[in-house]
A and B are shown apart, each in its own frame.
Chain A
Amino acid sequence: MIEFRQVTKRYDSDHTALRQVNFALDRGELAFLTGHSGAGKSTLLKLLMVMERPSAGEVVVGGQKLNSLPRRQIPYIRRHIGVVFQNHQLLFDRTVFDNVAMPLEVTGASPSDIGRRVRAALDKVGLLSKEKMNPMQLSGGEQQRVGIARAVVNKPPLLLADEPTGNLDPELSADIMNLFGQFSQVGVTVLIATHDIALVNEMNCRTLTLDHGRLVAGGSPLMGV
């Protein structure tokens, strides 16, 4: 599903965020991405979202090499990737429903289709009763779950999460991790960037560890594919 081949990302001549990173994730796999802050976690996620392009090496998502992707094709790649942010990036000028509906709206889905799929996604994260509320009225954990609903509403094959539990207490974090586990069981590839080591140990999943831009652990199982 995802493959990094000798990926290097250099911002300036003196700042290298990723050095020759090699790894691959299969369909339905759930993996953590850990490392100290500034180790390159966000850069790795940005490369997957085509927010950044690698300086060297290849990033492949769903069989598509992202290096050579023309700019106007980027939106179509992003439609296949759901993203959850630490600060969830919800829009407070519209309802929970409209927030979750955004990924469907950009694809030009019909209103009935949108209604059905948004409610399914909200039901999945247990917020169906709050669809008409403004996200501002929700608690932090609920807001994060709205963010997750938005990320999965168009059933992307790849789900990325950047510190999804950063602001949440352990109980809520476990809930959210559970959700991610369920998605991976139905075939979604999930990659979660976090520095919550306790949580990572508890989940007992594959863990990619970055240190100063180098992948120091977790890259082995599928290496060289």
Chain B
Amino acid sequence: MATDSRSKQETARGARKGQAPWRQQADSYLNHHRKVAADSARRLWRMPVASFMTWTVMGVALALPVALLLLLTSLEGVSAGWESSARVTAYLKLDSSLEDARGLAQEIGSDGRVEGVELVARDQALAEFRVSSGLEDALDFLQDNPLPHTLLITPEDSARSQAGVQSLVTYVEGMESVEQVQVDLGWLQRLNAMTDLLSRAVWALSMLLAVAVVLVIGNTVRLAIENRRDEILVAKLVGGTDAFVRRPFLYTGAWFGLGGGLVAFILLELSLWWLSGPIERLAGLYRSDFSLNGLSIDGALALIIVAMVLGWLGAWVAVKRHMDDIEPGEIAGG
């Protein structure tokens, strides 16, 4: 009833000004939002230390899971790269001659699925082993060379799928003088299993930290509500709707989120910059092209938007818990 009479008034006024009433309503609504948003931002700015501390808490809580996610995606990229460079190693029987081995290498090399074959002759293998293992003296006691001829087979791009590699292995295994064929993907599977586990852990951590962020913002906004109690009372007294009274605090939460997201972004960039040197050295030692990728622009935007949503959510929790308790009943006294 009351709403109706109000909208009738608005209609009358709008018509007098020759402007569509809904247009005027929408304009004033947007205007009010702009004003409230600016006012909330100014209030944060007026308490720089307190605001900055909240931003930092939020930034740290957000940066941690995002950093782990970045690490995870980088790791997944690496293992994908290594999977495609899988090599098949074929050990020949000890009694096969070097000529046999050469012939076999040629035969395998001519197969369509094979890009190249490298023959490591048993003498050459022993020499390398002698140098790299440091077991020179022990090897001297051996009468025979215990190592077989070895073929290092690199599959064609098209045969680098798991099934392709498998069929290649079966083909090579079927050859007469081949003793054993090895595709060492075991460690890769272990790495994959580890990244799977890590990714679950990261998601669980992200959830926990998101809840923490919501609670931190909720508590901060609760203090803001206490500080502006009089204002809330008066606003309710002169007919401010719940939405009207809540609005500044929801904006406050969103601004906290924006600041927190920016701090998180800066923290991430700083730590990436700080880590990039050691990571390059480490990757160099593993002859890997591994690199820890920073956030893309999309990623940074997503981070900030998520942070703002979390801030807004925190404010909503605080507003729900504390503002509805503030009723002007007590204002009029006894």
| Residues of A participating in the B interface, judged by any CB pair closer than 8 Å | 37-38, 42, 45-46, 49, 51-52, 64, 72-73, 75-80, 83, 85-87, 89, 91, 93, 102-103, 105-111, 150, 162
**Chain B: which residue is nearest A113 at the CB level?**
B13
Q: How far is the CB of B153 from chain A (nearest CB, A)?
A: 76
Provided the pairs A79-B239, A91-B234 are in contact, do residues A109 and B28 lie with their beta carbons within 8 angstroms?
A: yes
Listed stretches B63-71, B114-122, B181-189, B324-332; interface member? B324-332
Cα-based distance from A162 to B328 in the complex (angstroms): 14
* Residue of A38, A49, A64, A107 ringed by the most chain B CB atoms within 10 A: A107
Task: Name B residues whose Cβ lies closer than 8 Å to a Cβ of A.
Answer: 1-3, 6, 24-25, 27-29, 31-32, 230-231, 233-242, 244, 327-329, 331-334
Known: A91-B234, A162-B333. 19 other contacts (CB 8 A): A42-B332, A42-B333, A64-B1, A64-B2, A76-B2, A87-B333, A89-B331, A91-B231, A93-B231, A102-B235, A103-B238, A106-B244, A107-B6, A107-B239, A108-B32, A109-B28, A110-B28, A111-B31, A162-B332
Q: Which of A76, A93, A106 contacts B3 (CB 8 A)?
A: A76
| Closest residue on chain A to residue B13 by CB atoms | A113
- Find out whether the CB atom of B332 lies under 8 angstroms from the CB atom of A102: no
| Residue of B whose beta carbon sits closest to that of A46 | B332
C-alpha gap A80/B4 in the complex (Å) = 13
CA distance A110 to B230 in the complex (A): 24
Q: For the complex, give the distance between the alpha carbons of A80 and B2 in Å.
A: 9
Chain B residues closer than 8 Å to A87, beta-carbon distance: 333
Chain B contacts for A89, CB-based, 8 A: 230, 233-234, 237, 331
Q: How far is the CA of A150 from the CA of B239 in the complex (A)?
A: 12
Q: Which residues of B contact A86 (CB under 8 A)?
A: 333
Which of A75, A91, A93, A107 is within 8 Å of B236, CB to CB? A75
A45 to B1, CA, bound (A): 22
CB-based contact A42/B239 at 8 Å: no
The residues of A that contact B329 with a CB separation of less than 8 Å are 46, 51-52
Minimum distance in angstroms from B98 CB to a CB of chain A: 93
